[in-house]
Structure 1
Amino acid sequence: MGLGRWTDWLWVFVAVGLGGCAGPRQGTYAQRSFDSVSNTCRTQPALCTGAESVLPGVRAAEVAVVVAGARAMLDEDAKRAVESVLKECAEQARSAVLLREHEGRSPTPMQCKEQVRNAQGESVSRAIWLGNQMHAVALECVERKFDSMMPGRFSIEPTYRFDRRTGTSTLLGKEEVQLLKQPRFRHELKGTLTPDFVIHTGDPLQVSVVYDFKFPCTNVSEPPEWRSGGSSLSGPTQKESYMQAFRLGTRQVLRVVPRLGIFE
Protein backbone atom coordinates (compact mmCIF):
# COMPACT_ATOMS: atom_id res chain seq x y z
CA MET A 1 0.00 0.00 0.00
CA GLY A 2 1.42 3.39 -1.02
CA LEU A 3 2.00 6.33 1.28
CA GLY A 4 -0.97 8.18 -0.20
CA ARG A 5 -3.24 5.26 0.67
CA TRP A 6 -2.01 5.32 4.26
CA THR A 7 -2.72 9.05 4.55
CA ASP A 8 -6.21 8.60 3.09
CA TRP A 9 -7.10 5.81 5.51
CA LEU A 10 -6.07 6.23 9.14
CA TRP A 11 -6.82 3.44 11.60
CA VAL A 12 -6.79 4.30 15.27
CA PHE A 13 -7.12 1.48 17.79
CA VAL A 14 -7.91 2.47 21.37
CA ALA A 15 -8.64 0.14 24.25
CA VAL A 16 -11.52 1.67 26.19
CA GLY A 17 -12.44 0.71 29.76
CA LEU A 18 -15.53 2.20 31.37
CA GLY A 19 -14.58 1.69 34.98
CA GLY A 20 -15.20 4.83 36.99
CA CYS A 21 -16.84 6.79 34.20
CA ALA A 22 -20.24 7.19 35.80
CA GLY A 23 -20.04 10.61 37.41
CA PRO A 24 -22.01 13.75 36.56
CA ARG A 25 -20.33 16.55 34.67
CA GLN A 26 -17.84 18.86 36.38
CA GLY A 27 -17.20 16.36 39.21
CA THR A 28 -17.48 18.10 42.65
CA TYR A 29 -20.64 17.20 44.57
CA ALA A 30 -22.04 14.86 41.94
CA GLN A 31 -18.77 12.93 41.65
CA ARG A 32 -18.62 12.48 45.41
CA SER A 33 -22.22 11.28 45.27
CA PHE A 34 -21.26 8.58 42.81
CA ASP A 35 -18.32 7.60 45.01
CA SER A 36 -20.89 7.03 47.74
CA VAL A 37 -22.84 4.88 45.29
CA SER A 38 -19.80 2.68 44.79
CA ASN A 39 -19.24 2.45 48.52
CA THR A 40 -22.87 1.49 49.01
CA CYS A 41 -22.47 -1.32 46.49
CA ARG A 42 -19.52 -2.68 48.42
CA THR A 43 -21.19 -2.46 51.81
CA GLN A 44 -24.75 -3.32 50.71
CA PRO A 45 -24.48 -5.55 47.63
CA ALA A 46 -28.19 -6.37 47.77
CA LEU A 47 -28.89 -2.84 46.51
CA CYS A 48 -26.68 -3.40 43.49
CA THR A 49 -28.24 -6.47 41.94
CA GLY A 50 -30.76 -6.85 39.19
CA ALA A 51 -31.75 -4.52 36.38
CA GLU A 52 -30.91 -1.30 38.23
CA SER A 53 -27.49 -2.39 39.50
CA VAL A 54 -24.25 -0.51 38.93
CA LEU A 55 -22.25 -2.63 36.52
CA PRO A 56 -19.35 -4.04 38.57
CA GLY A 57 -16.73 -4.53 35.88
CA VAL A 58 -17.32 -3.26 32.37
CA ARG A 59 -15.43 -5.02 29.61
CA ALA A 60 -12.92 -3.07 27.56
CA ALA A 61 -13.88 -2.33 23.95
CA GLU A 62 -11.32 -2.10 21.16
CA VAL A 63 -12.31 0.67 18.79
CA ALA A 64 -11.18 1.18 15.19
CA VAL A 65 -11.96 4.65 13.81
CA VAL A 66 -11.62 5.14 10.06
CA VAL A 67 -10.86 8.65 8.85
CA ALA A 68 -11.46 8.81 5.11
CA GLY A 69 -10.93 12.03 3.17
CA ALA A 70 -12.59 15.24 4.38
CA ARG A 71 -15.69 13.52 5.81
CA ALA A 72 -14.70 10.98 8.47
CA MET A 73 -17.09 8.06 8.65
CA LEU A 74 -17.17 5.15 11.07
CA ASP A 75 -16.98 1.66 9.65
CA GLU A 76 -19.37 -0.94 11.05
CA ASP A 77 -16.89 -2.37 13.57
CA ALA A 78 -16.06 1.10 14.90
CA LYS A 79 -19.74 2.03 15.06
CA ARG A 80 -20.55 -1.08 17.09
CA ALA A 81 -17.69 -0.35 19.48
CA VAL A 82 -18.74 3.29 19.87
CA GLU A 83 -22.30 2.24 20.56
CA SER A 84 -21.21 -0.33 23.13
CA VAL A 85 -19.58 2.54 25.08
CA LEU A 86 -22.73 4.66 24.77
CA LYS A 87 -24.93 1.81 25.98
CA GLU A 88 -22.71 1.13 28.99
CA CYS A 89 -22.70 4.84 29.89
CA ALA A 90 -26.50 4.88 29.71
CA GLU A 91 -26.74 1.76 31.91
CA GLN A 92 -24.41 3.16 34.53
CA ALA A 93 -26.13 6.55 34.50
CA ARG A 94 -29.56 5.08 35.21
CA SER A 95 -28.22 2.76 37.89
CA ALA A 96 -26.13 5.45 39.61
CA VAL A 97 -28.94 8.02 39.77
CA LEU A 98 -31.59 5.57 40.96
CA LEU A 99 -29.21 4.23 43.60
CA ARG A 100 -28.37 7.73 44.76
CA GLU A 101 -31.86 9.22 44.62
CA HIS A 102 -34.26 6.27 44.85
CA GLU A 103 -32.53 3.50 46.80
CA GLY A 104 -31.90 1.71 43.50
CA ARG A 105 -35.59 1.23 42.71
CA SER A 106 -37.50 2.39 39.65
CA PRO A 107 -40.10 5.05 40.50
CA THR A 108 -43.78 4.22 40.17
CA PRO A 109 -45.93 5.96 37.54
CA MET A 110 -47.40 8.14 40.29
CA GLN A 111 -43.94 9.12 41.56
CA CYS A 112 -42.87 9.99 38.02
CA LYS A 113 -45.69 12.54 37.81
CA GLU A 114 -44.92 14.21 41.14
CA GLN A 115 -43.67 17.78 40.98
CA VAL A 116 -40.20 18.55 42.36
CA ARG A 117 -37.87 21.57 42.24
CA ASN A 118 -34.88 21.54 39.92
CA ALA A 119 -31.59 23.36 40.51
CA GLN A 120 -33.10 26.59 39.12
CA GLY A 121 -36.01 26.39 41.56
CA GLU A 122 -38.47 25.55 38.80
CA SER A 123 -41.24 23.03 39.29
CA VAL A 124 -40.82 19.97 37.05
CA SER A 125 -42.05 16.40 37.10
CA ARG A 126 -39.89 13.81 38.81
CA ALA A 127 -39.60 12.08 35.42
CA ILE A 128 -37.93 15.17 33.94
CA TRP A 129 -35.78 15.74 37.03
CA LEU A 130 -34.49 12.16 37.07
CA GLY A 131 -33.94 12.23 33.31
CA ASN A 132 -31.82 15.37 33.60
CA GLN A 133 -29.76 13.78 36.38
CA MET A 134 -29.19 10.67 34.25
CA HIS A 135 -28.23 12.75 31.24
CA ALA A 136 -25.57 14.56 33.27
CA VAL A 137 -24.03 11.29 34.47
CA ALA A 138 -24.16 9.67 31.02
CA LEU A 139 -22.61 12.65 29.25
CA GLU A 140 -19.76 12.87 31.76
CA CYS A 141 -19.08 9.19 31.15
CA VAL A 142 -19.13 9.70 27.37
CA GLU A 143 -16.89 12.77 27.53
CA ARG A 144 -14.24 10.95 29.53
CA LYS A 145 -14.18 7.95 27.22
CA PHE A 146 -14.22 9.77 23.91
CA ASP A 147 -11.59 12.33 24.94
CA SER A 148 -9.05 9.53 24.48
CA MET A 149 -11.00 7.53 21.94
CA MET A 150 -11.49 10.14 19.21
CA PRO A 151 -10.24 13.56 20.39
CA GLY A 152 -11.51 16.46 18.34
CA ARG A 153 -14.05 14.29 16.53
CA PHE A 154 -17.06 14.67 18.81
CA SER A 155 -19.16 17.27 20.63
CA ILE A 156 -21.21 17.01 23.82
CA GLU A 157 -24.49 18.95 23.73
CA PRO A 158 -23.54 21.37 20.94
CA THR A 159 -26.23 23.95 20.17
CA TYR A 160 -27.14 24.74 16.57
CA ARG A 161 -29.45 27.32 15.05
CA PHE A 162 -31.08 25.81 11.97
CA ASP A 163 -32.58 28.09 9.32
CA ARG A 164 -35.23 26.01 7.57
CA ARG A 165 -35.63 28.59 4.80
CA THR A 166 -32.01 28.31 3.67
CA GLY A 167 -31.25 24.83 5.01
CA THR A 168 -28.16 26.09 6.83
CA SER A 169 -27.01 25.47 10.39
CA THR A 170 -24.93 27.70 12.63
CA LEU A 171 -23.04 26.51 15.72
CA LEU A 172 -23.50 28.68 18.81
CA GLY A 173 -20.52 29.17 21.12
CA LYS A 174 -20.72 27.80 24.66
CA GLU A 175 -20.45 31.26 26.24
CA GLU A 176 -23.29 32.52 24.03
CA VAL A 177 -25.46 29.55 24.99
CA GLN A 178 -24.84 30.12 28.70
CA LEU A 179 -25.85 33.77 28.29
CA LEU A 180 -29.01 32.83 26.39
CA LYS A 181 -30.00 30.38 29.13
CA GLN A 182 -30.62 33.31 31.47
CA PRO A 183 -34.38 33.83 31.94
CA ARG A 184 -34.52 37.18 30.15
CA PHE A 185 -32.81 35.77 27.03
CA ARG A 186 -34.17 32.22 27.03
CA HIS A 187 -36.63 32.95 24.23
CA GLU A 188 -33.61 33.36 21.93
CA LEU A 189 -32.96 29.61 22.23
CA LYS A 190 -36.39 28.72 20.89
CA GLY A 191 -36.04 26.50 17.84
CA THR A 192 -32.36 25.68 18.39
CA LEU A 193 -31.14 22.08 18.28
CA THR A 194 -29.02 20.54 21.05
CA PRO A 195 -28.29 16.85 20.41
CA ASP A 196 -26.63 14.96 23.26
CA PHE A 197 -23.65 13.50 21.40
CA VAL A 198 -22.40 14.25 17.89
CA ILE A 199 -19.60 12.58 15.94
CA HIS A 200 -18.17 14.85 13.25
CA THR A 201 -15.15 15.27 10.98
CA GLY A 202 -13.40 17.70 13.29
CA ASP A 203 -15.71 20.47 12.11
CA PRO A 204 -18.89 20.40 14.29
CA LEU A 205 -20.90 21.52 11.26
CA GLN A 206 -19.84 18.39 9.34
CA VAL A 207 -21.85 15.86 11.34
CA SER A 208 -21.53 12.12 10.71
CA VAL A 209 -23.76 10.62 13.43
CA VAL A 210 -26.10 11.99 16.13
CA TYR A 211 -27.01 10.14 19.34
CA ASP A 212 -29.60 11.23 21.90
CA PHE A 213 -29.93 9.56 25.29
CA LYS A 214 -33.48 8.68 26.33
CA PHE A 215 -34.22 7.79 29.95
CA PRO A 216 -37.83 6.64 30.42
CA CYS A 217 -39.19 7.02 33.94
CA THR A 218 -41.85 4.34 33.46
CA ASN A 219 -42.49 1.72 30.78
CA VAL A 220 -38.80 0.88 30.61
CA SER A 221 -39.50 -2.12 28.38
CA GLU A 222 -40.03 0.07 25.30
CA PRO A 223 -37.87 2.87 23.85
CA PRO A 224 -39.37 6.36 24.22
CA GLU A 225 -40.53 8.05 21.05
CA TRP A 226 -38.69 11.03 19.62
CA ARG A 227 -40.11 14.24 21.04
CA SER A 228 -41.64 16.88 18.84
CA GLY A 229 -39.02 19.51 18.11
CA GLY A 230 -41.51 22.22 17.27
CA SER A 231 -44.02 24.31 19.15
CA SER A 232 -46.90 22.06 18.08
CA LEU A 233 -47.50 18.32 18.05
CA SER A 234 -47.63 18.48 14.26
CA GLY A 235 -44.12 19.92 14.04
CA PRO A 236 -41.05 17.87 13.10
CA THR A 237 -39.65 15.46 15.64
CA GLN A 238 -36.14 15.82 17.05
CA LYS A 239 -34.98 13.10 14.68
CA GLU A 240 -36.50 14.80 11.65
CA SER A 241 -34.95 18.13 12.66
CA TYR A 242 -31.50 16.54 13.07
CA MET A 243 -31.79 14.81 9.71
CA GLN A 244 -32.74 18.07 8.00
CA ALA A 245 -30.19 20.25 9.78
CA PHE A 246 -27.22 17.92 9.20
CA ARG A 247 -28.37 16.22 5.98
CA LEU A 248 -28.30 12.78 7.56
CA GLY A 249 -30.07 9.52 6.83
CA THR A 250 -32.38 7.77 9.28
CA ARG A 251 -29.62 5.36 10.42
CA GLN A 252 -27.36 8.28 11.33
CA VAL A 253 -29.71 9.73 13.98
CA LEU A 254 -30.14 7.31 16.87
CA ARG A 255 -31.56 6.93 20.40
CA VAL A 256 -29.58 5.35 23.24
CA VAL A 257 -31.85 3.71 25.82
CA PRO A 258 -30.58 1.96 28.99
CA ARG A 259 -31.34 -1.76 29.17
CA LEU A 260 -32.69 -1.75 25.60
CA GLY A 261 -29.88 -0.48 23.36
CA ILE A 262 -29.68 1.65 20.21
CA PHE A 263 -32.71 2.57 18.12
CA GLU A 264 -33.43 4.71 15.07
Structure 2
Amino acid sequence: MGLGRWPDWLWVLLCVGLGGCAGPRAHTYEQRAFDSVSNTCRTQPALCTGAESVLPGVRAAEVAVVVAGARAMMDEDTQRAVEFVLKECADLARSQVLLRYHDGQSPSKAQCNETLRNEKGESVSRAMWLGDKMHAAALECAQQKLESLRPGRFSLEPTYRVDRRTGVTTLLSAEEVQLLKQPRFQSELKGTLVPDVVIHEGSPLEANAVYDFKFSCYNVDEPAVWREVPAEGASPGSVPTQKNLYMKALGLSRSQVLRVVPRHGVLQ
Protein backbone atom coordinates (compact mmCIF):
# COMPACT_ATOMS: atom_id res chain seq x y z
CA MET A 1 0.00 0.00 0.00
CA GLY A 2 1.46 3.36 -1.03
CA LEU A 3 2.06 6.06 1.54
CA GLY A 4 1.60 9.80 1.04
CA ARG A 5 4.48 12.21 1.58
CA TRP A 6 5.19 12.76 5.27
CA PRO A 7 5.78 16.36 6.37
CA ASP A 8 9.41 17.33 6.85
CA TRP A 9 8.99 17.99 10.57
CA LEU A 10 7.73 14.45 11.14
CA TRP A 11 10.76 12.97 9.38
CA VAL A 12 12.96 15.04 11.67
CA LEU A 13 11.19 13.67 14.72
CA LEU A 14 11.61 10.12 13.55
CA CYS A 15 15.35 10.75 13.37
CA VAL A 16 15.41 12.39 16.81
CA GLY A 17 13.36 9.67 18.49
CA LEU A 18 11.00 10.12 21.39
CA GLY A 19 12.18 7.73 24.07
CA GLY A 20 11.39 8.10 27.75
CA CYS A 21 13.08 10.81 29.76
CA ALA A 22 14.40 9.91 33.19
CA GLY A 23 15.19 12.27 36.00
CA PRO A 24 13.52 14.59 38.44
CA ARG A 25 13.20 19.38 39.19
CA ALA A 26 5.97 28.31 49.02
CA HIS A 27 3.07 29.66 48.43
CA THR A 28 1.08 30.23 51.63
CA TYR A 29 -2.19 30.36 49.70
CA GLU A 30 -4.17 27.70 47.86
CA GLN A 31 -2.30 26.24 44.90
CA ARG A 32 -3.87 24.75 41.81
CA ALA A 33 -0.87 24.86 39.50
CA PHE A 34 2.73 23.80 39.91
CA ASP A 35 5.56 26.31 39.66
CA SER A 36 9.23 26.20 40.53
CA VAL A 37 10.59 27.48 43.84
CA SER A 38 13.25 29.65 42.21
CA ASN A 39 10.77 31.43 39.92
CA THR A 40 8.40 32.14 42.79
CA CYS A 41 11.12 33.42 45.11
CA ARG A 42 12.43 35.83 42.52
CA THR A 43 9.05 37.54 42.26
CA GLN A 44 7.61 37.01 45.76
CA PRO A 45 10.51 36.73 48.20
CA ALA A 46 8.28 37.10 51.25
CA LEU A 47 6.88 33.64 50.55
CA CYS A 48 10.27 31.93 50.67
CA THR A 49 12.66 30.75 53.35
CA GLY A 50 16.10 29.23 53.44
CA ALA A 51 18.56 29.35 50.58
CA GLU A 52 16.00 30.79 48.11
CA SER A 53 15.20 33.82 50.28
CA VAL A 54 16.20 37.28 49.08
CA LEU A 55 19.08 39.03 50.84
CA PRO A 56 21.09 42.19 50.06
CA GLY A 57 23.70 41.82 47.37
CA VAL A 58 25.76 43.37 44.62
CA ARG A 59 25.15 44.14 40.97
CA ALA A 60 25.91 41.47 38.40
CA ALA A 61 27.97 42.17 35.33
CA GLU A 62 25.75 42.88 32.35
CA VAL A 63 26.04 42.41 28.63
CA ALA A 64 23.41 44.81 27.27
CA VAL A 65 21.47 44.59 24.06
CA VAL A 66 18.52 46.66 22.89
CA VAL A 67 15.62 44.52 21.73
CA ALA A 68 13.93 46.27 18.82
CA GLY A 69 10.77 44.74 17.36
CA ALA A 70 9.63 41.15 17.11
CA ARG A 71 12.15 38.48 16.18
CA ALA A 72 11.79 36.37 13.09
CA MET A 73 9.50 33.45 13.71
CA MET A 74 10.49 29.84 13.14
CA ASP A 75 9.49 28.21 9.90
CA GLU A 76 6.36 26.08 10.17
CA ASP A 77 8.04 22.66 10.03
CA THR A 78 10.59 23.57 12.70
CA GLN A 79 7.91 24.96 14.97
CA ARG A 80 5.81 21.81 14.67
CA ALA A 81 8.79 19.59 15.42
CA VAL A 82 9.85 21.66 18.46
CA GLU A 83 6.34 21.78 19.88
CA PHE A 84 5.77 18.06 19.31
CA VAL A 85 8.93 17.32 21.31
CA LEU A 86 8.03 19.73 24.13
CA LYS A 87 4.50 18.35 24.44
CA GLU A 88 5.87 14.81 24.70
CA CYS A 89 8.34 15.95 27.36
CA ALA A 90 5.58 17.60 29.41
CA ASP A 91 3.37 14.50 29.26
CA LEU A 92 6.24 12.18 30.18
CA ALA A 93 7.42 14.40 33.04
CA ARG A 94 4.02 14.50 34.71
CA SER A 95 3.45 10.78 34.31
CA GLN A 96 6.90 9.80 35.59
CA VAL A 97 6.82 12.07 38.64
CA LEU A 98 3.31 11.05 39.69
CA LEU A 99 4.15 7.39 39.18
CA ARG A 100 7.27 7.70 41.31
CA TYR A 101 5.96 9.92 44.09
CA HIS A 102 2.16 9.65 44.06
CA ASP A 103 1.24 6.12 42.94
CA GLY A 104 0.48 7.48 39.48
CA GLN A 105 -2.53 9.43 40.75
CA SER A 106 -3.21 13.18 40.59
CA PRO A 107 -3.17 14.82 44.05
CA SER A 108 -6.40 16.10 45.56
CA LYS A 109 -6.96 19.79 46.22
CA ALA A 110 -6.19 19.26 49.89
CA GLN A 111 -3.00 17.34 49.12
CA CYS A 112 -1.80 20.11 46.77
CA ASN A 113 -2.01 22.59 49.65
CA GLU A 114 -0.21 20.43 52.18
CA THR A 115 3.15 21.75 53.35
CA LEU A 116 6.30 19.67 53.29
CA ARG A 117 10.04 20.24 53.10
CA ASN A 118 12.12 20.01 49.97
CA GLU A 119 15.71 18.82 49.63
CA LYS A 120 16.99 22.20 50.84
CA GLY A 121 14.90 22.04 53.99
CA GLU A 122 12.54 24.78 52.82
CA SER A 123 8.80 24.70 53.55
CA VAL A 124 6.87 24.42 50.29
CA SER A 125 3.46 23.22 49.21
CA ARG A 126 3.10 19.76 47.72
CA ALA A 127 2.07 21.50 44.48
CA MET A 128 5.40 23.29 44.31
CA TRP A 129 7.36 20.23 45.45
CA LEU A 130 5.90 18.10 42.66
CA GLY A 131 6.13 21.00 40.23
CA ASP A 132 9.89 21.33 40.77
CA LYS A 133 10.36 17.66 39.99
CA MET A 134 8.15 17.82 36.90
CA HIS A 135 10.02 20.86 35.62
CA ALA A 136 13.34 19.09 36.10
CA ALA A 137 12.15 15.98 34.29
CA ALA A 138 10.66 18.00 31.43
CA LEU A 139 13.83 20.08 31.04
CA GLU A 140 16.05 17.00 31.01
CA CYS A 141 13.87 15.52 28.30
CA ALA A 142 13.91 18.79 26.33
CA GLN A 143 17.70 19.00 26.57
CA GLN A 144 18.08 15.55 25.07
CA LYS A 145 15.53 15.98 22.27
CA LEU A 146 16.31 19.56 21.27
CA GLU A 147 20.04 18.85 21.20
CA SER A 148 19.34 16.45 18.35
CA LEU A 149 16.75 18.68 16.71
CA ARG A 150 18.33 22.17 17.07
CA PRO A 151 21.91 21.88 18.35
CA GLY A 152 23.22 25.25 19.53
CA ARG A 153 19.95 27.02 18.80
CA PHE A 154 18.04 26.67 22.04
CA SER A 155 18.60 27.54 25.71
CA LEU A 156 17.08 26.08 28.85
CA GLU A 157 16.31 28.45 31.71
CA PRO A 158 18.37 31.43 30.50
CA THR A 159 18.30 34.30 33.01
CA TYR A 160 17.37 37.77 31.73
CA ARG A 161 17.36 41.13 33.50
CA VAL A 162 15.41 44.12 32.21
CA ASP A 163 16.48 47.62 33.23
CA ARG A 164 13.31 49.43 34.31
CA ARG A 165 14.61 52.83 33.28
CA THR A 166 15.96 52.04 29.83
CA GLY A 167 14.04 48.89 28.90
CA VAL A 168 17.33 47.22 27.97
CA THR A 169 17.35 43.45 28.34
CA THR A 170 20.57 41.74 29.42
CA LEU A 171 21.53 38.08 29.68
CA LEU A 172 23.33 36.76 32.76
CA SER A 173 25.96 34.09 32.18
CA ALA A 174 25.73 30.73 33.93
CA GLU A 175 28.67 31.76 36.12
CA GLU A 176 26.93 34.98 37.16
CA VAL A 177 23.74 33.12 38.01
CA GLN A 178 25.61 30.63 40.18
CA LEU A 179 27.33 33.49 42.02
CA LEU A 180 24.07 35.33 42.60
CA LYS A 181 22.42 32.24 44.03
CA GLN A 182 24.65 32.63 47.08
CA PRO A 183 22.53 34.04 49.96
CA ARG A 184 24.42 37.34 50.24
CA PHE A 185 23.88 38.15 46.56
CA GLN A 186 20.36 36.87 45.94
CA SER A 187 18.67 40.26 45.89
CA GLU A 188 20.23 40.68 42.44
CA LEU A 189 18.05 37.84 41.14
CA LYS A 190 14.84 39.59 42.16
CA GLY A 191 12.89 40.57 39.07
CA THR A 192 14.93 38.46 36.64
CA LEU A 193 13.08 36.42 34.02
CA VAL A 194 13.80 32.71 33.58
CA PRO A 195 11.69 31.07 30.85
CA ASP A 196 11.98 27.30 30.58
CA VAL A 197 12.84 27.00 26.88
CA VAL A 198 14.03 29.68 24.45
CA ILE A 199 14.39 28.85 20.76
CA HIS A 200 16.84 31.07 18.88
CA GLU A 201 19.38 31.12 16.05
CA GLY A 202 22.46 31.26 18.25
CA SER A 203 21.83 33.93 20.92
CA PRO A 204 19.15 33.79 23.65
CA LEU A 205 18.86 37.57 23.29
CA GLU A 206 17.49 37.06 19.77
CA ALA A 207 14.66 34.69 20.55
CA ASN A 208 12.37 33.13 17.96
CA ALA A 209 10.02 31.68 20.58
CA VAL A 210 9.65 31.11 24.33
CA TYR A 211 7.99 28.10 25.97
CA ASP A 212 7.13 27.57 29.64
CA PHE A 213 6.09 24.20 31.05
CA LYS A 214 2.92 24.50 33.16
CA PHE A 215 1.70 21.64 35.33
CA SER A 216 -1.76 21.70 36.91
CA CYS A 217 -1.87 20.16 40.36
CA TYR A 218 -5.31 18.79 41.14
CA ASN A 219 -7.43 19.70 38.11
CA VAL A 220 -5.82 18.51 34.90
CA ASP A 221 -8.95 19.24 32.85
CA GLU A 222 -8.22 22.96 33.19
CA PRO A 223 -4.85 23.95 31.72
CA ALA A 224 -2.53 25.81 34.10
CA VAL A 225 -2.45 29.52 33.31
CA TRP A 226 0.34 32.07 33.15
CA ARG A 227 1.40 33.18 36.60
CA GLU A 228 0.94 36.82 37.55
CA VAL A 229 4.10 38.66 38.58
CA PRO A 230 3.38 41.52 41.03
CA ALA A 231 5.46 44.61 40.40
CA GLU A 232 6.03 47.77 42.41
CA GLY A 233 3.55 50.45 41.49
CA ALA A 234 1.22 48.12 39.56
CA SER A 235 -2.42 49.17 39.91
CA PRO A 236 -5.15 46.62 40.72
CA GLY A 237 -6.15 44.65 37.65
CA SER A 238 -2.96 45.56 35.77
CA VAL A 239 -0.56 42.97 37.21
CA PRO A 240 1.51 41.56 34.33
CA THR A 241 1.87 37.86 33.69
CA GLN A 242 5.01 35.94 32.82
CA LYS A 243 3.84 35.98 29.20
CA ASN A 244 3.55 39.78 29.18
CA LEU A 245 7.03 40.14 30.64
CA TYR A 246 8.63 37.69 28.20
CA MET A 247 7.00 39.47 25.26
CA LYS A 248 8.20 42.88 26.37
CA ALA A 249 11.71 41.79 27.35
CA LEU A 250 12.44 39.88 24.15
CA GLY A 251 10.36 41.81 21.61
CA LEU A 252 8.07 38.86 20.86
CA SER A 253 4.45 38.66 19.77
CA ARG A 254 1.72 36.78 21.64
CA SER A 255 2.01 33.84 19.25
CA GLN A 256 5.73 33.48 20.04
CA VAL A 257 5.34 33.07 23.82
CA LEU A 258 3.57 29.82 24.67
CA ARG A 259 2.65 27.41 27.47
CA VAL A 260 3.29 23.67 27.26
CA VAL A 261 0.66 21.83 29.30
CA PRO A 262 0.35 18.04 29.76
CA ARG A 263 -2.71 16.62 27.96
CA HIS A 264 -3.48 20.02 26.43
CA GLY A 265 -0.35 20.59 24.38
CA VAL A 266 1.01 24.00 23.35
CA LEU A 267 -1.24 26.94 24.19
CA GLN A 268 -1.05 30.72 24.24
Shorter-chain TM-score bucket reads 0.7 to 0.9
For 2:131, the equivalent position in structure 1 comes to 131
How much does 1:257 deviate?
0.3
* Superposed CA offset, 1:232-255 (max 9, x none): 674311000000000000000000
Q: Which of the two has greater strand per residue? A: 1
Alignment of 1:55-66 (within 5 A): none
Separation (CA, whole Å) in 2 of partners of 1:22 and 1:252: 28
Paired residues of 2:155 and 2:198 also in contact (CA < 8 A):
yes
Give the conservation status (yes or no) of the 8 Å contact 1:113–1:125.
yes
Length, aligned pairs only: 208
Query: 1:124 & 1:182 partners in 2: Cα distance?
Result: 20
**Residues 73 and 256, structure 2, Cα contact 8 Å, conserved in 1:** no
Determine the structure 2 residue equivalent to 1:158. Answer: 158
Aligned counterparts of 2:226 and 2:257: Cα–Cα separation in 1: 11
Question: Aligned residue for 1:116?
Answer: 116
Distance 1:235 1:164 in 2: 16
Provide, for residues 193-234 of structure 1, a one-character-per-residue CA deviation record: whole Å limited to 9, x for no partner: 000000011011101100000011011111122111234674
CA distance in structure 2 between the aligned counterparts of 1:201 and 1:248, rounded to whole angstroms: 15
Q: Any stretches of 5+ residues in structure 1 without a counterpart?
A: 1-11, 26-70
Matches within 5 A, 1:58-137: 73-137=73-137
Preserved CA contact (<8 Å) 1:21 1:145: no
Q: Which structure ranks higher in relative contact order (CA pairs < 8 Å, sequence separation ≥ 6)?
A: 2
Matches within 5 A, 1:10-29: 13=12, 15-24=15-24
Structure-2 residue corresponding to 1:171:
171
| Cα offsets for 1:23-69 (capped at 9, x unmatched) | 337xxxxxxxxxxxxxxxxxxxxxxxxxxxxxxxxxxxxxxxxxxxx
Identity %: 65
RMSD across aligned positions (CA): 1.8
Tell me, yes or no, if structure 1 residue 243 matches structure 2 residue 252.
no
Consecutive unaligned residues in structure 2, runs of 5 or more: 1-10, 26-70
Runs of 4+ in 1 over 6 A off after TM superposition: none
Could you tell me the TM-score, scaled by structure 1's length?
0.75
Q: Secondary structure at the match of 2:85?
A: helix
Query: Whole-Å Cα distance in 1 between the matches of residues 181 and 119 of structure 2?
Result: 13
The DSSP-based 3-state class of the residue aligned with 1:116 is: strand
Q: Distance in 2 between matches of 1:118 and 1:23?
A: 16
CA distance in structure 1 between the aligned counterparts of 2:84 and 2:168, rounded to whole angstroms:
32
2:264 counterpart residue number: 260
Amino acid at match of 2:155: S
TM-score (norm 2): 0.74
Amino acid in structure 2 at the alignment position of 1:248: L
